[in-house]
Structure 1
Amino acid sequence: MQYLEGRKFVVMAIFLAVAVVFATRLFYIQVLDGSYKLAADRNTLQRIVQTPYRGLIYDRAGKLLVQNTPVYDLMVVPREVKTLDTARFCQLLQLPVEDLRAGLLAAKTYSRVKASPLVPNLSTPELAAIQDNLMDFPGFSIKARMARSYQDTIMAHALGYVGPVTPAHLEKPKYAKYIAGDNLGISGLESFYEQQLMGQRGVQYRMVNVRGIEKGAFRGGEFDTLSRAGQDLHLSIDRELQRLAEQLMAGKRGSVVALDPKTGEILAFVSAPSYNPNKLTGKGLGNRYMELLRNPERPLFDRPLMATYPPGSVFKLVNEAIALQAGVVTPTTGFQCNWKLVRCTHRHEPPNNVNIAIKQSCNPYFYQVMRAMVMRGRSTRKTEDAALGLADWRQQVVNFGLAQHLGVDLPGERMGLIPSPNFYNKQYGKNHWNFRTVYSLSIGQGEIGITGLQMANILAIIANRGWYYTPHFVRSIGKQGPLPQFQVQHRLPIEPRHFEALVPGMQEVVDGRGGTANLASLADVGISVAGKTGTVQNYHGEDHATFAGFAPAEDPKIVVAVFIENAGFGGLSAAPLASLLMEKYLRGKVAPWRKRWENWLPGPADRFLSRRH
């Protein structure tokens, strides 16, 4: 009996202990912890998501390029929509009934319990009409957010644009932080620096009555979180230089890239034709985007980053540098201008050294330079000999940042092409090609393809005598500097003296008598320019014009690479355009007599320029 009596007390103690635990837990839930009450009272609480203030974008002088303007979206939670007076609702918003039904269906498809935008970018009259009557339409709310607006019409391709997050985005883990109605960077710098620009959203809980009227913060804001604004971007772009470059490229197709060779900072970046960046913001963005997309001139195509062309004679500088490093030629090596090897652009004196060859842009000379580099005395008729030398040649060329992504801070960069022996094996079949098949690479023609950005980087390497920083737009993010990858110096395995040997010839191109780019000379204002012209063969129409150079030649502060489609000889169109940009950047102005060129250059090469040449 005593045993049974003891068991009774044990059981009673257990039940008592469990009762105390449950009572304690209920007291905590009902009195101390408000989170459960928060969940139970959602029908009397309003959860307000605070969209963070997107970071601003400034030019190198600290002037605003991209700012935020407030816009308002009409949001809907389908489950909370009860008896909707469709006729009155549509009358207030001047919204077709079919659009309302389609919007509600899309919202239900996304989520019945989450808010999604029904009418984005409300106009001021629409906002006023619906806001005064919102209490009569349960399930609907106004969400304020910031849209982008642009202070100028320049830099559309580099800046990019911001658009609404789509259901397809929300299905991807990468966009887990986003909700319907958010914006995100779609292209350009807006996309590349999305994580820095977007900031961090906040949440506020507000007590509301059955009519939707706010009664104050829930529990004094205990569960609220503050939004955190995105970081500002400070670019290296020179606004006035950019504006002038776009003006000069008006009516053309092509690209201009200007950068500071000592830092890799991009000073101007032009893709022509372009468009007004304000077209891709605000209400009707989708329709305007489709108009640009269907435009046969392809204004959305980012040519400096995505268009690849043979570089023409500018590439002769690369071939000469690697041949000098290999020791197969010296600065004093001369070759005959032998038209039996390849045609030259014009008759001239024999190029007895590299300076004369660069000045005259002698095709036979650079044919023989590359033959010396690739063949090393082997037979030009044997595939295996050509393949062996071409593989080594390609490895040296790739060091210039070609046939790869440079890593600029924009999405969508193309690699370009430097052909390899395998490429020709696939094109012609193994043992069915030799040096005579690939000789056009010696003058920057044939299968080779590079971007305008890569061309500018080649000249930065020469300007620095053998090294470069990855080209980039952003000088600082908030109060910090550029991203780490843009602070790493890349040095080529070519001695500085070999790059130094190229510069006198490049100066003769511009300032020497009979040089191919005399129209790029700035000698009259005391600035020495080193550069190289190019005329790129185009089998589908007029030849393309190129010029790439830097100034001052002895201490380069700016590199400019110009590529103009169907403009013919590079010395007549691309070269003078580049010189105007160099003068503008270095002097802050353009000489009055040369300023008149601005009115000629946007169209075909003027006859006056042809006579001067």
Structure 2
Amino acid sequence: MLENRKYVIIGVFCLMALTYLARLFYLQVLDDTYSLGASKNSIKRVIEIPYRGQIYDRNNQLLVYNTPVYDLYVTPKKVNISDTTAFCRLMDITRSDFDSIMGLAQNYSAVKPSLFMRQLSKEDFARIQDALVDYQGFEPVISSMRTYPAHTMANALGYVSEISKKQLDNQDIPYYRQGDYIGHNGLEEQYEEQLRGKRGVKFVMQNVRGVNKGPWKNGEFDTLAVAGDNLITGIDVDVQQYADSLMKNKVGAVLAIEPATGEILVSVSAPTYDPNLLSSRYFSKNYRALIKNPYKPLINRPVMASYRPGSTFKLIQALIAQQQGSLLPSTVYGHAGSPMRCHCRGGNNLRGAVQNSCNPYFYYVFRKFLYFNGEHNTFKASAIGLRQWHDMAEKFGIGARLGVDLPSELKGNLPTPEYYDKAYRGALRWKFSNVYSLSIGEGELLISPLKLVNLAATIANRGWYITPHYIKGLGKVGVGVPEEYKVRHETGIDYKYYLPVIDGMRGAVANGTVTPLANIAGIDLCGKTGTSQNAKYGHKFDHSIFIGFAPMNNPKIAVAVFVENAGWGGKAAASVAALVAERYLKRKTEAKKLDEIVKASNYLPPANSLLTPKKPSPAKKDTTQKDPKPVQPKPLMTAIQPKAVTATVGMGGN
């Protein structure tokens, strides 16, 4: 028995010894964890930056790609320059710049390389390449730079630049380091995570002074960088560039979408700039110049500007009033008793009122809508009616962010009863006579071009829309499109109520408020003009607005155009919209005379007039508004980063 215990004890000790030996073998031979830890002082972890994904239009034409460039690094201890002046001349920098850069490099490390000059083009590098042989301590490293071959859509695309300190500090998951590049604004920012790709890592040996001695373990633990996904957009670059040419010497926006899908076909913010200006080592200089430009080209007007929609809003009034039951297509209103002026003769039915943009007609439509609830107290009736009006108009995407795939969309304003309760310091202190300017798209309404092109698409679809978006796919068409850009949003307006409105819109182009030249043969354009009053607040002309779609049946394109300070909506804006629709549908421009007139038109206000907005002149009374406004209108804002670019308010025109 005792003998057996001895063998058991010996066996236990042998088993323990074998376990320890196996563990030691694993730690010392198989596991590299401790080896890596012990090597921290001699192994450097180097991050490999992947190539950023490219951006294409709907026809596979490149909008953005990566151009190889060179970053020049310097190791101060190795530098020996006999003629600093000649070197600065070669590098096209000043002596003070040279001293500053070298001082920063020396402070970082005398023996480690640091950045001397970023993003040298192939041509610049070729110019200095041979001469660099004579200057020890300078080493070129190949990199890449964003290039925009179409020279268009700068505001929607955004740009890539060095990450800011605020962005570094606000990272939820640490990824970026100081000096890294990141997308700013536009699609570059919106799809940053997809475009940036996945980083690689390599380990290199270095001596005690930080000098590179080659890869560690022949790169066994290195991981390759994975290039970012390519972004395919719905943009038609041919039509986009053509729309750019039409908006030369103009301030405003052009947006076009495909009604059936919500894909944005054209996105023009005017004036614009060449996106390549913000993709070079002269970024800071060029950015400062753009900020100082009085026409504010950095503002992305399609989604950031807010305008009074003017008479284009009459389309919503007509639709929701029919749905409510307070308006029939056969209803006729004259001008008698209306405080609003009008250019037409009156006595229109609904089709004629849309065609001729009759202000008194929609004044009466709005009044009947508000009082249709049967409440005899006019204050209560106005509040109840306005609540219903707000809720029905809101379903068209008005008064909230639509959710376009850009980071800078503003929501605009669709006033509520509570808005006026606050403005008039209490409920039951305002009524229809205080808010009737809303009937023609004026007053406190603020709408972006994006929302109006979406309205055009909604009417083209006879009652529904898909949220407008730029993305068509990641890598290939249809892949990676967010689900929210596939959902149909219903307006709650019956199909039949769209028909008389569309008839009126076609009449507006064929025989109504649109200039005859814009009724281009073969496209069957339906539209609505608008004129947002601006002149009485110190500006010479009102803003020109047009929304529409084509063809009338089975629409392929919806368009919205804003041309600031261009006057009548049926001329400047409608002409641009008609030419854009023709170019998209026919793939060519046949309306040569109209094309020539539009391109020759110059509506740019003098630059000095934008520096200090003029104050309203009290000398001339506006007869279109007899009741006080709770919110005073503002002239065109000129700050570079406003909350909105606000057009002034007045009588909605044609």
TM-score, L = length of structure 1: 0.86
Would the aligned equivalents of 1:51 and 1:145 in 2 still touch at CA under 8 Å? no
> How far off is 1:208 after superposition?
5.8
**Structure 2 residue 474 is the aligned partner of structure 1 residue 472:** no
- Distance, in Å, in 2 between the alignment partners of 1:253 and 1:559 is 21
Q: Once structures 1 and 2 are overlaid, which stretch shifts more, 537-546 or 65-74?
A: 65-74
Partner of 2:389: 393
The Cα shift of 1:583 comes to 0.9
User: Which digits, 9 at most, give the CA deviation of each residue in 1:170-207, with x for residues without a partner?
Assistant: 22224612223321111100000111101001112244
- The alpha-carbon distance between structure 1 residues 87 and 113, as it changes in their structure 2 partners (threshold 3 A), is closer
Task: Specify the code of the residue in structure 2 equivalent to 1:497.
Answer: K
For residues 260-289 of structure 1, give each alpha carbon's deviation from its aligned partner in whole angstroms, at most 9, with x where no partner exists: 111111111111110110000110212211
Residue 175 (structure 2) aligns with? 177
- The residue number in structure 2 matching 1:551 is 550
Alignment of structure 1 residues 553-572 onto 2, 5 Å: 553-572=552-571
Change (3 A) 1:469 1:88: farther
CA contact (8 A) 2:398 2:414 kept: yes
- In structure 1, the residue corresponding to 2:267 is in which secondary structure? strand
Structure 2 unaligned segments of length 5 or more: list them: 606-653
Matched letter for residue 124 of structure 1: F
Q: Which residue of structure 2 lines up, in the alignment, with residue 433 of structure 1?
A: 430
CA contact (8 A) 1:354 1:502 kept: yes
- Which segment drifts farther, 446-455 or 140-149? 140-149
Question: Does structure 2 conserve the Cα–Cα contact (< 8 Å) formed by 1:70 and 1:145?
Answer: yes
Change (3 A) 1:308 1:114: farther
After the TM superposition, which residues 211-230 of structure 1 pair with which residues of structure 2 at under 5 Å, given as runs? 217-230=215-228
Matched, 1:407 2:403: yes
Q: Which residue of 1 aligns with 2:597?
A: 597
Q: Indicate the SS of the match to 2:314.
A: helix
Alignment match of 1:305 (pick from 303, 311, 314): 303
Q: Following TM superposition, by how much is the alpha carbon of 1:86 offset from its aligned partner in structure 2, in angstroms? A: 8.6
Structure 1 CA distance, aligned partners of 2:82 and 2:25? 48
What is the TM-score of this pair, normalised by structure 2?
0.81
Secondary structure at the residue paired with 1:162?
strand
Distance 1:114 1:409, change over 3 A: farther
Q: 2: distance between equivalents of 1:160 and 1:438?
A: 39
Amino acid aligned to 2:99? V
Mapped partners of 2:17, 2:165: distance in 1:
49
- Give the Cα–Cα distance (whole angstroms) in 2 for the partners of residues 593 and 82 of structure 1: 65
Q: Percent identity?
A: 40
Worse-matched range after superposition: 317-326 or 329-338: 329-338
Give the Å deviation of 1:65.
1.1
Aligned counterpart for 2:340 among listed residues 334, 338, 343: 343
Deviations 1:514-540 (A, max 9, x none): 444433212xx3321111101111143
Change (3 A) 1:115 1:453: farther
User: Is 1:124 aligned to residue 125 of structure 2?
Assistant: yes
Provide the rounded CA distance (Å) in 1 between the counterparts of 2:112 and 2:379.
66
Contact 1:509 1:518 in 2 (8 A): no
**Is residue 203–residue 227 contact of structure 1 (8 Å, CA) maintained in 2?**
yes
Does the aligned pair in 1 maintain the 2:344–2:356 contact within 8 Å? no
Moved more, 404-413 or 92-101: 92-101
Separation in structure 1 between the aligned mates of residue 113 and residue 436 of structure 2, nearest angstrom: 63
* Letter paired with 1:577: V
Q: From 67, 73, 76, give the equivalent of 2:65.
A: 67
Shift of 1:71: 3.0
**CA-CA distance at 1:124 after TM superposition:** 1.9
Deviations 1:316-352 (A, max 9, x none): 00011000000111111111122x322233141411x
Separation in structure 1 between the aligned mates of residue 113 and residue 25 of structure 2, nearest angstrom: 34
CA RMSD of aligned residues (A): 3.5
Distance 1:584 1:59, change over 3 A: same
Letter in 2 for 1:486: Y
CA contact (8 A) 1:248 1:602 kept: no
1:459 counterpart (425, 434, 456)? 456
1:362 and 1:464 map into 2 onto residues whose CA distance is: 25
Deviation (angstroms), 1:243? 0.8
Q: Would the alpha carbon gap of residues 129 and 420 (structure 1) be closer, same or farther in structure 2, given more than 3 Å must change?
A: farther
8 A contact 2:565–2:603 mirrored in 1 = no
Q: Give, in whole Å, the separation in 1 of the partners of 2:106 and 2:598.
A: 54
SS in 2 for 1:121: strand
Q: CA deviation at 1:362?
A: 0.8
Question: Partner of 1:154 in structure 2?
Answer: 152
Aligned-partner residue type, residue 437 of structure 1: N
Q: Which moved more, 1:19-28 or 1:272-281?
A: 19-28
Q: Aligned match of 2:234 in 236, 242, 263?
A: 236
Q: Which residue of structure 2 lines up, in the alignment, with residue 609 of structure 1?
A: none
Amino acid at match of 2:553: E
Q: For structure 1, which segment, 382-391 or 82-91, has the greater mean C-alpha deviation from structure 2 after superposition?
A: 82-91
Distance 1:285 1:508, change over 3 A: same
Q: Which has the higher contact order (CA 8 A, sep 6+)?
A: 2
Aligned to 2:362: 366
**Partner Cα separation in structure 1 for residue 112 and residue 498 of structure 2:** 62
Number of residue pairs matched by the alignment: 584
1:269 equivalent among 260, 267, 270 = 267
SS at match of 1:501: helix
Determine if contact 2:308/2:447 at 8 Å carries over to the other structure: yes
Match of 2:634 in 1: none
> Conserved in 2, the CA contact under 8 Å of 1:400 and 1:492?
yes
Offset at 1:361?
0.8
Matched position secondary structure for 1:169: helix
Is 2:69–2:145's contact at 8 Å kept on the other side of the alignment?
A: yes
